Chain A
Amino acid sequence: MKPELVIENLKVNVENKEILKGVDLTIKGGEVHAIMGPNGTGKSTLSMAVMGHPRYQITEGRISLNKEDVLEMSVDERSRNGLFLAMQYPQEVNGITNADFVRTALNKRREGSEISFMKFFQKFEKAVAELKMRDDLPHRYLNEGFSGGEKKRNEILQMKVLEPKIAILDEIDSGLDVDALRVVGENVSKMVNDNFGCLLITHYQRLLDYIKPDYVHVMIDGRIVKTGGPELIKKIDEEGYEWVRSELGIEFNEFDEKVILGNCAIKDQIME
């Protein structure tokens, strides 16, 4: 059976302010969805709420994964059931090596059939090579001292090893230079199959040159206001979001168009 994440009428408060005002979205295995939209419209809130961050309070609506109630699950249960969130700001954790961390996480979801040390390392190092990351990565501490781009690639690395069913990638493209973006895009694209679907959250279309979405959603002010195919990307790229106002008759003012022009990527080290 293909995995299926269903979000229905989701309303979320952050510090008593309503950020999501009723979101409906279904993601199935084999599908790539992209959510685009200006800053501050609730895209990251959606990802944090799905993963279960305690600061994001769900006031209404439902989330289910393969018909099981996600809102009843703790954060770690959501993960072990197949959800994954590649975070916008991955945490640095001192003293835990990347390899030890991922191995602990992997074994946690395979209790009773733990992966052997050798097999794990083969799998891990293969993923390191495919993402063109530094050879010493397994022994470095989790994200500590990583550049922005390295942190983002490390999120993808964890995803490759943990093999979730549904992944949300929250602005995985920020901080990546063109080469790293291509590497990340290709790696994510390769993962997509009937057993894996993903949701990309992004400001700009660059990432979508490498991962072709089947569905593009436009989020404005806590709602998905339009859903379409890849043609929407081109429209947003050319026109920004002004057309939403005139075409859909939706008023909003919480965005700053400049953000979609900016590119704060730093040249990152790609190991060839």
Chain B
Amino acid sequence: MNFNEKLFSHNPKAIINFRKEAFQKLDSLPYPNLGKLKKEYFDLVDENVQPLFLKKVYEVPEQVKEIVSEDENVMVFEDGNIIFERLDERFDGIYINDFYSAYDEIPEIISSYLKKDGEKEKNRFQAYNTAFQNGGLVLRLPKKVEIDNLKIIYIQNSTDIVHRTLLILEERSKLNLIEYFVGSNKANSNIVTDIEQMPESELNYYKIDRLPIKSRIYSSVRAELQNNSVLNLTRGVLSKGNANIDIDVDLLKEGASTTINSIALASGDEVQNLNIVTNHKAKNTESEIHNQGVSKEKAKLVFNNTGKIENKMSQSKAFQSTRGIILSKDALLSANPFLLIDEYDVEAGHGASIGKFDDESLFYLMSRGLTKADAEKLIIAGFVTPIIEGISDIKLQSKIKSVIDDKLSERGGEFE
């Protein structure tokens, strides 16, 4: 792997230096927690990172029209560029722009972010993101501002996407954010999202990807939560390629809390690895992790959950659950829950139920006239529906339902 400085000659010198630094240490950094999965599943294939410069368009791009409503706030990225935006007047006082513009426009914020960034790189994919970033977004919500709808869509067309998002929620601000990531051909995608939540802020964040077959995906969410701030993250992994999903939430100050829901569907020979970590670094902090997974054919799907409560962080709560359905004998689905607790006065627990179809449920549905195939489909749909119905966006709900339906009917040959 080479670092071609010329690719990024349009960048300010300081940014190029951060890139170089990250590139130099890349090989010395570990992979994310892969457990028993081979690293080759997640290594980049035929890398092709380019900075592209695309013009803005004045209509919602055809590719994503079906998931955009007339009356919502929306921003569309294509190959790293903001190509469309429609934001209402409430955004007047909000900073939202691409990463390099932000470096010019709010330099003090971005430089201090970049300086801290080097320390946050826990694995080589995160360092890769810093080195090769070809698109990015900075969104800063001022104090007390509430935005109830914002949809950001990323489209991959002609280059690998290496994207960085920085979300800053100032005190008592609130944001409902939906991110949807689609691609038109196989590529390597690397998306790192940093979230900084100030006291009493609330972020409801739905992050869904639907990339094509043979894609390689690295996606990381790193969040830092101050006093009484709340992060509700729903992560839908609906891509057809191999995905490594990292979610790290640091509960830094008292009263911070997070709920993380994930849905992952793995089929064919896909490999999906989710590492979800909550760090309780203050008293009276709460975390909940709920995973739902379906694994079929020869797919491998792994959930690694870690809840870490440090010493003296009393009155904290950490809960985890994983529910999974395995649809064929060659499919793998595993849940590895870890609770690392160094304090007595806490509540914590984990549970997992993974198996093939429940025979009694199948019999019950079939006894009302549903065929076995219909009954199975209904059970799986039912399994993920409660989470999808948590998304207030009807268009996206039905899109996700049809994606799941597609994904489940791709191939036959189920459990016998």
Contacts and interface: CB of A to CB of B under 8 A. Distances in A.
Contact of B364 (A52, A54, A87, A108): A87
B408 to A, nearest CB: 14
Contacts of A76: 366-367, 369-372, 375
Contact of A108 (B358, B363, B369): B369
Interface of B: 358-361, 363-372, 374-375, 378-379, 381-386
Contacts of B367: 51-52, 75-76, 78-79, 84-85, 87
B370 A108 contact: yes
23 contacts: A51-B367, A52-B367, A54-B363, A75-B367, A76-B366, A76-B375, A78-B367, A79-B367, A79-B368, A84-B367, A91-B360, A93-B364, A93-B382, A94-B383, A95-B382, A95-B385, A95-B386, A96-B385, A102-B368, A104-B374, A105-B368, A105-B370, A108-B374
A108 B363 CA distance: 16
B381 A96 contact: yes
Given A93-B379, A94-B383, A104-B374, A74 B364 contact: no
Closest 4 CB pairs of A and B: A95-B382, A95-B385, A79-B369, A91-B364
Contacts of B382: 93-96, 141-142
Contacts of A95: 381-386
Contacts, number: 74
Interface in A92-121: 93-96, 101-102, 104-105, 108-109
A256 B365 CA distance: 33
Interface residues of B: mostly helix, strand, loop or mixed? Answer: helix
A109 B369 contact: yes
Given A90-B364, A93-B379, A95-B383, A54 B359 contact: yes
A24 B406 CA distance: 48
Contacts of A52: 367
A101 B372 CA distance: 14
A65 interface: no
A158 interface: yes
Contacts of B371: 76, 108
Contact size range, A: 20 to 34
Given A76-B370, A79-B366, 9 more contacts: A53-B363, A54-B359, A74-B366, A91-B361, A93-B361, A96-B382, A96-B385, A104-B374, A105-B370
A80 interface: yes
Contact of A101 (B378, B384, B385): B378
Interface of A: 51-54, 74-76, 78-80, 84-85, 87, 90-91, 93-96, 101-102, 104-105, 108-109, 141-142, 158, 162
A17 to B, nearest CB: 19
Interface residues of A: mostly helix, strand, loop or mixed? Answer: mixed
Contacts of A96: 378-379, 381-382, 385
A265 B366 CA distance: 28
Contacts of B386: 94-95, 141
